[in-house]
Structure 1
């Protein structure tokens, strides 16, 4: 069993298939009870949500695995009594528990999932090395996986994948720069989104005033990241999205929070 540490709490994950009492817990499953308890939440509050029930049903249909095997309730005494969930459900739970925990859990669980898939593979006969994945390819796949779990736009996820591959293999940079430029220019939907300056021009306010209004309205929040100073809240996601672009002069990928034109009417109400 693998133990992760979140602040002063332990989050257990099955490194291999194992037994807890009379229950078989598959490899990769996470102790969801510990995840909720570590953040002062009740797991039952998450499982009773309509959105959770719909998600579990959709996951059952997609994976062909019954919900009772995706969410395993271990009945016993003391530490044995807990609910263990499939990794994908654990990541969804992390999104509900808290934003800081969501970030930590996504990175931790995905890293473990991918590393154990590689480390725990049985020894096989030598294969054609020409078919083996290059480290840069693996890095790009990880970025794509993270983007998918995080629900990022496809163009944004593609930019992250290119950046990941380039960081592992700098020799790819010339081709990667061309690819990033192409990606940034081939998402026509980005043009429909407005930045705070454009919104301000439409309503007679400065970009600073627009950003302040969006924060006070609960549609965005300020971060400590200079490259991504603002992010949308859950409420703000119905109007805003993170848009990828190429910075002038550096050819580096940057991301900006932009808004649907309808946000102008919302502000003017």
Structure 2
């Protein structure tokens, strides 16, 4: 049989070969039999009897990993491309006196590129890339840290400007490269913070009530309105009772462009101390 005749056979069975979305080929039993130059009834008998009395062909397919149940289903569902290759190789080289020259020629045709690619070529199938979903946007660690600080600040009921300062500090701690921009931002926040005018520090309170700043702090400590911390930058914090007059607010440190947090008090604290 010539290559021209092989091409004619392929043209006749082309409609009986299908390619699934994964590029896997499936041929009908008739198409498989035509390629091997045997009767399709012979293949049906071999496949359907695989579970009871497997033929040499069926035994060969089972040894390659195909189950008898799978072989029995091929009469209706078609023959997978890898099984088609096994059938052709059997009738090309292993069937003894039943070997077919056509099966050998077809084997030579697909051996160079593989049966699957060969069937894809017959069908003109091309691999269409499946659009991949865009990966979820990864939040930069600095952004994530700032968001966490904002959430914690809101949960704790902190002043909005203080919460903003915490967010800036958190982002800078994670990404030091943000420090120049962060310092400028903190300066703007501190300079425009209304708490600077609305709240009094111990020195300002002392000027009104006639006490030193140290004496004011001691009075606030003894009255249970503030407590001392181990943090030099934030030496005092308000107690639960003191929070009705005191609040932590950001302010510019003296002599440097750096924001610190200070405990300040509403003007009404003067009446509390004087009373």
TM-score by length of 1: 0.51
Q: In the alignment, what sits opposite 1:232?
A: 238
Question: CA shift at 1:128, angstroms?
Answer: 5.4
1:215-226 aligned within 5 A: 215-226=221-232
Give deviations 1:41-80, integer Å, cap 9, x for gaps: xxxxxxxxxxxxxxxxxxxxxxxxxxxxxxxxxxxxxxxx
Q: In the alignment, what sits opposite 1:127?
A: 134
Q: In the alignment, what sits opposite 1:144?
A: 150
Question: CA shift at 1:251, angstroms?
Answer: 2.5
1:72-221 aligned within 5 A: 127=134, 131-221=137-227
Q: Relative CO higher for 1 or 2, CA cutoff 8 Å, sep ≥ 6?
A: 2
Question: CA shift at 1:126, angstroms?
Answer: 5.4
TM-score by length of 2: 0.50
Q: Report the CA distance shift for 1:229/1:268 in structure 2 as closer, same or farther (over 3 A).
A: same
How many residues are aligned here?
Answer: 144
Question: CA shift at 1:170, angstroms?
Answer: 1.3
Provide the rounded CA distance (Å) in 2 between the counterparts of 1:203 and 1:243: 22
Compare CA radii of gyration and give the structure with the larger one. 2
- Larger helix share, 1 or 2: 2
Give deviations 1:223-247, integer Å, cap 9, x for gaps: 1111111111111111111010122
| Aligned residues: CA RMSD | 1.6
Q: Report the CA distance shift for 1:209/1:168 in structure 2 as closer, same or farther (over 3 A).
A: same
- Larger strand share, 1 or 2: 1
Question: CA shift at 1:209, angstroms?
Answer: 0.5
Q: Report the CA distance shift for 1:252/1:128 in structure 2 as closer, same or farther (over 3 A).
A: farther
Provide the rounded CA distance (Å) in 2 between the counterparts of 1:146 and 1:236: 21
SS, match of residue 182 in structure 2:
helix
Q: Report the CA distance shift for 1:171/1:126 in structure 2 as closer, same or farther (over 3 A).
A: farther
Question: CA shift at 1:145, angstroms?
Answer: 1.3
Provide the rounded CA distance (Å) in 2 between the counterparts of 1:205 and 1:181: 31
Tell me if structure 1 keeps the 8 A contact 2:187–2:258. Answer: no
Question: CA shift at 1:248, angstroms?
Answer: 3.2
